[in-house]
Structure 1
Amino acid sequence: MRIGLAQMDIIFEDKHLNMLKVENLLKDANKDSIDLLVFPELTLTGFSMNLKDMIEGSLVDSPSIAWFCTKALEYNINIAFGYIEICGDKGLNNLVIISKHGTVLSKYSKIHPFSYGNESKYYKGGDEFILTRLGDLIIGSTICYDLRFPELYQILSKKANIILVIANWPHKRKDAWITLLKARAIENQCYIVGVNKVGMFGNTYYSGDSMIIDPLGNIITSLSDSEGIIYTNINIKEVDGLRKSFTVKEDRKNLLYIKGLTSNIPIKDEREDSNDIS
């Protein structure tokens, strides 16, 4: 399957202009026979805390979802994108996957709002793990700050052979972005697709660095400092073959890890003289 990454300079809080950008990218993706095109986090709004004007309803009440469904059908392409959904007095930062037939396949709500950037003040965290089947792909969905929580990826990769990470990740943390994407691919022996925005937001620069990483941690293709599409053909058999020959997952001690996470592990302190036998 041919996977495409649409790196965008998202116009902050301007859905109309961003729709024009998205449509141009979809036209290009159609010409390149891309099967799945993945867009950055909060595709039509950017990283907005202005929920009053930017928030939308659930799947059946969202104008953005209705528009993307129409475009998926028009351009005969599966699409993954981000949007803001209302949830009480807060929002949900969502990743939605739409089939080329114009139907919603799945919706994932970001589990880890970015507290360092005040996202958690405006957005509620999701509480579900989402997997989506698309042909021979089993896709795990994650968003931006989720990348720093490896447990999420271990859970998804129990079945997923490819995991999406859509993001608004600044250039100043570029090294962390690339390192974590590679680490998640190596740890989980699966493809990792990281799609980031590019351009300026206020005084912050986003260099993009969207990339596809193979199960061994190698960057297959990447794009920095410009808008555009990159793509590659994914061979899922590589995931199955690696997992069968290099049985990392079978060697995991999940029950022991849970015990460690939920228990108070004593510290062996050199200042204590309990081992003094003199």
Structure 2
Amino acid sequence: MLTTAPSTDLRVTLVQTELHWHQPDANQRMLADKLTPLVNQTDLIILPEMFTTGFSMEPELLAEPEQGNTLQWMLQQAQQTGAAITGSVIVRDATGFRNRLYWVTPEGQTHHYDKRHLFRMAQEQEHYQAGSERLVVEYRGWRILPQVCYDLRFPVFSRNTGDYDLAIYIANWPESRRHAWRTLLQARAIENLSYVAGVNRVGTDGKGLAYSGDSLLVDAAGQLLLDHPVGGRFVETRTLSAEKLNNFRASFPAWQDADHFDLKL
């Protein structure tokens, strides 16, 4: 049940960009330049999946320790901008390699979510360990569900049981499947009566795959609040209205008729 709701608005920034293939330092420098104008201008900054390397199946060459350089960089950027930052990076833990989404706040708090659904068409499951826990973060009065790329195709895992107001999907989603990406982002917003942000990369990666971006911000009715032409780089901020979300949920309470079930991972 949607028994609680946000009481204040939330400024969300989507960063759609090219990525330097297998060059963490270059990507950090590039992204730091993009984030500099955001100081005190937003509440949340969303980066793409594997934003330091591109979507690589060579974790043995690229993985960082759990408290590695990229996490420290994110903490520094969060403190400087005054905003939470989220994105995923290749990490090695005690059990193997993870496609790990980090969530960091200006106050130095950190959370992480390990990608649950590994993209078998790229043999991701042969190189990485799947996550086992779903994460919902409470931040500035909002409950936020962060997920990664292929997770978008699995609506049960994204099901809103009254526990979130904004779902985030970060991705390296190829241009050849852009219709599915756009359609599913809107579907997740509509069926879950929630805002949805999808942040994808652009450009061509080291394997020759092209990415069209199509980063979107969608309201609970499925209307596009942010949409850009194919392939463009941008850093843009939109304000999510708590009042509009609460009013829509009250006027169209489909959640009251939802089926009840237990999600077993």
Same fold (TM over 0.5): yes
Return the match for 1:4 from 4, 13, 16. 13
Quote the Cα distance in structure 2 between the aligned partners of 1:253 and 1:70: 43
Cα displacement (A) at 1:230: 1.7
Quote the Cα distance in structure 2 between the aligned partners of 1:116 and 1:240: 39
Return the match for 1:231 from 217, 233, 237. 237
SS at match of 2:45: strand
Could you tell me whether the CA contact under 8 Å between 2:113 and 2:134 is conserved in 1? yes
Corresponding residue pairs, total? 253
Q: Which residue is 2:47 aligned to?
A: 39
Return the match for 1:173 from 151, 174, 177. 177
Match status 1:112 vs 2:117: yes
User: What is the percentage of aligned positions where both structures have the same residue?
Assistant: 28
Q: Which residue is 1:191 aligned to?
A: 195
Q: Which residue is 1:222 aligned to?
A: 227
SS at match of 1:79: strand
Quote the Cα distance in structure 2 between the aligned partners of 1:26 and 1:11: 17
Match status 1:23 vs 2:28: no
TM-score (norm: length of structure 1): 0.86
Quote the Cα distance in structure 1 between the aligned partners of 2:216 and 2:68: 29
SS at match of 1:6: strand
Return the match for 2:256 from 204, 229, 250. 250
Match status 1:55 vs 2:60: no
Could you tell me whether the CA contact under 8 Å between 2:98 and 2:115 is conserved in 1? yes
Larger Rg belongs to: 1
Cα displacement (A) at 1:52: 1.6
1:24-173 alignment, distance < 5 Å:
24-30=33-39, 33-58=41-66, 61-88=67-94, 90-104=96-110, 106-155=111-160, 157-173=161-177
Could you tell me whether the CA contact under 8 Å between 1:161 and 1:236 is conserved in 2? no
The gaps in structure 2 that reach 5 residues or longer are 1-9
Cα displacement (A) at 1:89: 5.8
Residue by residue, what CA displacement relative to the aligned partner does 1:86-117 show, whole Å, maximum 9, x if unpaired? 1446311111111122331x211111000111
Coordinate RMSD, CA, aligned: 1.8
Quote the Cα distance in structure 1 between the aligned partners of 2:260 and 2:251: 20
- Judging by fraction of residues, say which structure has more helix: 1
The gaps in structure 1 that reach 5 residues or longer are 262-278
Query: Which consecutive aligned stretches of 4+ in structure 1 deviate over 6 angstroms post-superposition?
Result: none
SS at match of 1:215: coil
